[in-house]
Amino acid sequence: MALLLNLIFALAFAGSVGGAVHLWRAHLDSTRRDGMQALAARRGWALTVTGERLGRAGTLRLVPRGGHPWMAEARPAEGRRGGPVTLYEAEEPAWTEGTLVLIACAPEGPRDAQPSAEPLPRPREAALRDLLGEDVARLAGPLEQVPAPEGVTALASGDPSRRLELEDLARVMSAFAPVARGTRGRPVLILSPEGMRLRLRRALARPEQMERFLDLAFAISRLIGP
C-alpha cells in the first residue's frame, strides 16, 4: 500500500512539475513575442506569428510598413531536413553577374596575421545546403573559394570586386557579436541575381538580437549599394 501511495505521489509531483514548466515556457514565449511587437512598433515594422502549437514556437515574420521592401523570418525549422534559421531577404541589392557567399568566421590569431580561409566541411553539397538552405543551395553549383579579407570566407561564381568591396563587408560582418557558439551564431551573406539574403542557423527569439541582425542586414545593403 505504501509503495502504491509513493508511486501516486511521484506521478502527481511529476505532473505538477511538467505543468509548471509548460506555463513558464508559455509565459516566456509571450514575453518575447510582446518584446518583438514593441520592437516592430518602434521601428515601423509589422509583425506576424504563424504555426504556433502547444509547446512549440511558431514562425516570426517582420516586414516594413513602407519604404524599401524586405522580409525577415525566424523559423523553428526550415523544410523537412532543415534546422532553425533566421533569414533576411530583399530583391535589392543583387548581383546580376553571379553569386557570392560570404561567411563570417571566428577571429584567429593577432591582427597582423595572414588572412586565412576556413574550408568547407565535406561533403560539399551537404555543407552548402546547411549553410545556405535547400532553396538557395541550387545556386551554389559553380561556386569556388576566392581570396577574402580576414574574418570571412568567400565563395563566388565570378569576380565579386566587380560589384562590391569585400573589405567593407568583412569589417561589418566580423564586428557582429555571435548570437550562439560556433558557426550557427555567425551570419552568412548570399548575394545573387535573385537579391540579397542574410542567414543565421538559429531562430532568434529575443528582440535585441533580432534588431542587431536586421541592422547588420541594412548596413550590408547600404555598403553593396543599388
Per-domain residue ranges of the chain: 2-224
Other beta carbons within 10 angstroms of residue 135's beta carbon come to 13
The three grid cell numbers given for residue 18, joined into one nine-digit string: 511538467
Distances (CA, A) of 3 to 6, 10, 70: 5, 10, 62
Q: What is the pLDDT of residue 102?
A: 92
What is the C-alpha separation between 166 and 152, in angstroms, rounded? Answer: 9
Give the three-state DSSP class for 27. helix
The separation between CA 43 and the C-alpha centre of its own chain, rounded to angstroms, equals 20
Question: Please, what are the averages of pLDDT over each run of 10 residues along the chain (226 residues)?
Answer: 55 47 42 86 93 68 92 79 85 93 67 41 56 59 84 89 91 88 87 94 92 96 92
Q: What is the pLDDT of residue 9?
A: 52
CB 191 within 8 A of CB 200: no
